[in-house]
């Protein structure tokens, strides 16, 4: 592994943690062979507010990843989760010169569909390709290269983020001595490893709940339709506990982790829990059920915000496959059931597709690693070249078959 020129890496920069994964590809499957995880610093509500602190935190985790596999990394894919995010779906067509669609036509179609005016303080992430069409046919074409047509259409999903968020990420990563391959929206990265094509076809919402923010991506008709970031996450739940029981954030976090449930109805028999309050040196006690009520109401606040947002965008009735939950905040007991009860649609915890990516069970089965795993799927990937590479691979196989038939 240490001498491989083909390995790649990802960095998930979150509000509370930083994750680094190192992987290689073998027989079409990504294998994670190195990892590091550590506390984040200098990040507030998913926005980098102190580049030097984040850089130091990244360096510590990169070192841990190196020690886990004796492999140094040079270029990484990383995530972005911007409260100023906006998204656009665009469907445009180009004329095809000649009888058959070439890779140049595909690149031109994607660039044309992606083009959109940008405010001075915003910039576009790499566009996500949803589908291609040819001529007047509305049927989706996965691989248009080589087909005869006079018109080629491309539908893309464009994510627009603030310059501040993007520039801070670039500076923090590059000050760590690393090159940046690609910056990917948090929930889109996670979707690569835990959302099936059937779910994308029927309509599904991926909800990634982190410490500082929660973000959603909605998939419909086989592609991504909408993304949004909410200023609500695990830290807000912890703060609500601290406010309710007059205790410190650290003590509230302990109470949440050691005694928390997302639903009162699944909590055990009520009992007294010891805690330390801000205005007392003596130990105090609170009711377990009172604690769970605060936690449940905090999760319901997240649910209400998501429901209202989806309703505003007229997407609330389009999720035939319901919700897929990931991120550290989804780990609390009862989270899945709370969403089922609130939205009255199917909900499940995210599960990594081990046919695409493998590694230690502690990584591929833990939702805190989902985004970093998804970022590995984006490594060395360019939206403009993805379909071209697929064509070239198919063409290569065809040539081999032709030779064998001679």
At 331-374, the pLDDT tens digits run 999 999 999 999 999 999 999 998 889 999 999 999 999 999 99
Residues 126 and 217 in one domain: no
CA distance 266 to 292: 10
Question: Pairing state of beta strands 323-326 and 347-349?
Answer: parallel
Residues 211 and 99 in one domain: no
Given pLDDT bands bounded at 50, 70 and 90, which one contains residue 239?
very high
Residues 222 and 346 in one domain: yes
Q: What is the pLDDT of residues 252-266, one digit of tens each?
A: 999 999 999 999 999
* C-alpha distances in Å from residue 171, one per residue of 37, 52, 168, 231, 379: 20, 9, 5, 24, 19
Q: What is the pLDDT of residues 379-399, one digit of tens each?
A: 644 444 455 545 444 443 333
Residues 272 and 324 in one domain: yes
- pLDDT at residue number 400: 30
Residue 103 lies in a domain: yes
**Average pLDDT across the chain, whole number:** 89
- Give the residue-averaged pLDDT of 174-180: 94
Given pLDDT bands bounded at 50, 70 and 90, which one contains residue 139?
confident
Residues 157 and 259 in one domain: no
Q: What percent of the chain has pLDDT over 90?
A: 78
DSSP code for 2: T
CA distance 364 to 370: 7
Domain containing 148 equals 86-162
CATH at 156 = 3.30.1490
CA distance 376 to 355: 14
306 in Cβ contact with 206 (< 8 Å): no
Residue 399 lies in a domain: no
- CA 231, chain centre distance (Å): 16
The tally of domains found in the chain comes to: 2
Q: Looking at 137, 162, 187, which one is the last position of a domain?
A: 162
The two three-digit tokens of residue 131, written as one number:
């589908």
Residues 268 and 136 in one domain: no
Length of the chain measured in residues: 406
283 in Cβ contact with 274 (< 8 Å): yes
- Give the residue-averaged pLDDT of 190-212: 94
- pLDDT at residue number 26: 83
- pLDDT at residue number 23: 95
DSSP code for 250: H
166 in Cβ contact with 84 (< 8 Å): no
Given pLDDT bands bounded at 50, 70 and 90, which one contains residue 29?
confident
More reliable by pLDDT, 1 or 55: 55
* C-alpha distances in Å from residue 266, one per residue of 132, 158, 288: 47, 41, 12
CATH at 291 = 3.30.420.40
The two three-digit tokens of residue 69, written as one number:
């596999």
């Amino acid at each position: 592994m240490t001498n491989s020129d083909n390995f790649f890496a990802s960095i998930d920069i979150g509000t509370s943690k930083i994750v680094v994964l190192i992987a290689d590809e073998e027989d079409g499957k990504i294998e994670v062979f190195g990892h590091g995880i550590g506390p984040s610093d200098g990040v507030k509500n998913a926005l980098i507010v102190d580049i030097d602190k984040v850089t130091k935190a990244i360096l510590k985790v990169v070192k841990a990843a190196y020690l886990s596999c004796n492999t140094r990394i040079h270029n990484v894919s990383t995530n972005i989760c911007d409260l100023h995010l906006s998204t656009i779906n665009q469907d445009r067509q180009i004329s095809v010169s000649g009888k058959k669609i070439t890779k140049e036509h595909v690149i031109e179609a994607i660039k044309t569909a992606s083009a959109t005016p940008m405010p001075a303080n915003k910039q576009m992430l790499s566009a996500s390709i949803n589908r291609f069409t040819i001529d007047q046919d509305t049927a989706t074409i996965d691989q248009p290269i080589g087909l005869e047509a006079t018109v080629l259409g491309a539908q893309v999903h464009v994510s627009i983020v603030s310059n501040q968020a993007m520039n801070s990420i670039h500076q923090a990563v590059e000050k760590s001595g690393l090159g940046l391959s690609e910056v990917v929206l948090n929930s889109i990265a996670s979707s690569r490893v835990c959302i099936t094509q059937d779910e994308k076809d029927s309509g599904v919402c991926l909800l990634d709940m982190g410490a500082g923010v929660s973000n959603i991506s909605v998939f419909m008709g086989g592609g991504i339709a909408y993304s949004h970031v909410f200023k609500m996450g695990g830290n807000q739940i912890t703060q609500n506990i601290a406010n309710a029981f007059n205790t410190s954030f650290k003590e509230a976090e302990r109470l949440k982790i050691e005694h928390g449930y997302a639903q009162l109805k699944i909590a055990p028999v009520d009992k007294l829990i010891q805690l330390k309050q801000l205005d007392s040196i003596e130990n105090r006690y609170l009711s377990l059920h009172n604690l769970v009520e605060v936690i449940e109401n905090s999760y319901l606040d997240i649910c209400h915000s998501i429901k209202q947002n989806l309703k505003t965008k007229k997407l609330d009735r389009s999720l035939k496959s319901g919700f897929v939950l990931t991120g550290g905040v989804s780990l609390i007991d009862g989270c899945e059931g709370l969403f089922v009860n609130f939205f009255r649609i199917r909900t499940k915890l995210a599960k990594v597709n081990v046919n695409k990516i493998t590694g230690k069970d502690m990584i591929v089965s833990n939702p805190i690693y989902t985004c970093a795993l998804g970022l590995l799927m984006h490594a060395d990937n360019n939206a403009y070249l993805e379909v071209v590479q697929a064509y070239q691979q198919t063409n290569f196989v065809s040539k081999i078959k032709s030779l064998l038939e001679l």
